[in-house]
Amino acid sequence: MKTSNKLFCCLSFALLLGTSAEAQFFKKLAKKAEKAAERTVERRVEQETSKKTDQALDSILEPGSGGNTPGNTPGNENTNGNADGNPSTTGPMTTGPKTMEVYSKFDFVPGDKPLFYDDFNDDFMGDFPSKWNTNGSGEVVTVGDLPGKWYSVANRSLTIPNLGTQLPEDFTIEFDLKVVNLSRNTGSGAVLSIYLSETDGLTTNENNALANLNFCQYIAIGVRVDNNFRGDPAPIQNTLQQDLRQLYQDVVHVSIAVNKNRYRLWLNENKIADLPQFIVKPELINYLKFYVNGIDKQKRQEQVLISNLKIAEGGVDLRRKLMSEGKISTNGILFNSGSADILPQSMGIIRQISQVLNQDGSIQLNIVGHTDSDGSDESNMTLSKNRAEAVKKALVSVYGISPDRLTSEGKGETEPVADNTSAQGKAQNRRVEFIKK
């Protein structure tokens, strides 16, 4: 009897144990199924997120692949950065043919007293440019269909044009910039730093004002501005957030104007920065320096190229000078080589002339073109006449000035103001005069 009871108890315990184990098994199975379902959902979410991320990145890194790319996003309005540390944003800036109408509100006016000019035409290919100094390397090159010669600045090189003089309080800087082989691999460290510095030494550890042009292609960074003056209680350190990626796919004309404390920067016709108190101590800004970093020439064939660097004293209001003196002469109106096609970035000067004419309806102007000595006397005379006429047509067609108030003539190479044996002298001789009649 006792044995039967023991057996019954054992069987009962085994059944209870089996039922409990089975229940635990099904609970574990349910939890595993639940976790598997969760993982499936997570994978699908990850796949969808990854797909959308890839599409977004493709639209950024591979223009034309769909979506709002840097080349086709609506909106090309420009918003200037502020000096109070608040970044500004804008839609992508695109490349493409630029017309004089596009530049009709471009208000950069180059200085009228040349201090330095270099197009590297006097240098041999493969040599370091003779008018510059560096702590690294670089060479004069030509690139594909790009006209002229270019200075390829080596990565991690600080380089300085030998001005032979210090920068004045009012000056302008212009140059053409081309960055070769930009791609999705071009990172956030790829920059051209433009320093306005205290000394002509190969250092940036000194008082300076800096603009960083960032060539990163996988994210829009824009332009970084910093001023570094010892003892300044409120330095400006700001990133002007603009989508410039597509802009850097082409040649970019960089323009800088400094008028004592005020600093302005344009890329093509777009004013990027206008900082009224950026140059805290103008007396400490004496030299221009460039620094290149984050560029991989060996593996990715990337290069930062500079050409047609022009530094000039002035950049002040030409309107007052024309009104008070009755005559101005400028070499800031630029043309394509050997032609009368006005380069659109020259429209700042023509715009100021139109403002004088609109302010005083009694003023009539004679526009006189001059050339350097390259070419024959006859061809230069024709070229100078055509260039003066092109400026007249721009005033009429773009700004609505009556043609009856304007005349034009050319004097070719007959009245040089500088030596025609150097690039700098030739740049001074290629000029346009406006004379009140």
Q: What is the pLDDT of residues 191-211, one digit of tens each?
A: 999 999 999 999 999 999 999
Domain boundary among the residues 16, 41, 69 is at 69
Could you report the per-residue pLDDT of 146-169, keeping only the tens digit for each?
999 999 999 999 999 999 999 999
pLDDT at 143: 92
End-to-end CA distance of the chain: 140
Domain assignment present for 21: no
pLDDT confidence tier of residue 283, bands split at 50, 70 and 90:
very high
Q: What is the mean pLDDT of residues 284-306?
A: 96
pLDDT confidence tier of residue 99, bands split at 50, 70 and 90:
low
The verdict on 278 and 129 lying in the same domain is yes
pLDDT at 72: 31
pLDDT tops 60 at residue 79? no
pLDDT at 107: 79
pLDDT confidence tier of residue 20, bands split at 50, 70 and 90:
low
Spatial CA neighbour of 213 closest among 185, 182, 180, 188: 188
Please give the share of the chain, as a percent, with pLDDT higher than 90. Answer: 63
Domain assignment present for 197: yes
pLDDT at 136: 96
pLDDT at 104: 64
Mean pLDDT of the chain: 82
pLDDT tops 60 at residue 58? no
Domain assignment present for 429: yes
Domain assignment present for 199: yes
CATH number at residue 228: 2.60.120.200
The verdict on 171 and 272 lying in the same domain is yes
pLDDT at 435: 97
pLDDT at 318: 79
pLDDT confidence tier of residue 332, bands split at 50, 70 and 90:
confident
pLDDT confidence tier of residue 403, bands split at 50, 70 and 90:
very high
pLDDT at 86: 38
The verdict on 326 and 303 lying in the same domain is no
Contact 173, 306 (CB under 8 A): no
Write out the residue range of the structural domain in which residue 402 sits. 318-436
Domain boundary among the residues 267, 298, 313 is at 313
The verdict on 289 and 157 lying in the same domain is yes
Domain assignment present for 88: no
The verdict on 209 and 234 lying in the same domain is yes
The verdict on 327 and 303 lying in the same domain is no
- Name the domain count of the chain: 3
Domain assignment present for 108: no
Higher pLDDT, 108 or 279: 279
CATH number at residue 408: 3.30.1330.60
The verdict on 295 and 347 lying in the same domain is no
pLDDT tops 70 at residue 345? yes
Most confident option among 22-31, 49-58, 99-108, 374-383 = 374-383
Residue with tokens 């050997």: 338
pLDDT confidence tier of residue 55, bands split at 50, 70 and 90:
very low
Domain boundary among the residues 14, 37, 69 is at 69
Helices 377-399 and 347-359: angle between axes, nearest 10 degrees: 60
Q: What is the mean pLDDT of residues 257-271?
A: 93
The verdict on 203 and 280 lying in the same domain is yes
The verdict on 180 and 324 lying in the same domain is no
Domain assignment present for 104: no
Please give the share of the chain, as a percent, with pLDDT higher than 70. Answer: 76
Say what the pTM is: 0.67
The verdict on 398 and 357 lying in the same domain is yes
Domain assignment present for 90: no
pLDDT at 49: 39
Surface-to-core class of residue 195, CB atoms within 10 Å of its CB (0-12 exposed, 13-18 middle, 19+ buried): buried
pLDDT tops 60 at residue 275? yes
The verdict on 132 and 180 lying in the same domain is yes
pLDDT at 321: 85
The verdict on 193 and 268 lying in the same domain is yes
pLDDT tops 70 at residue 91? no
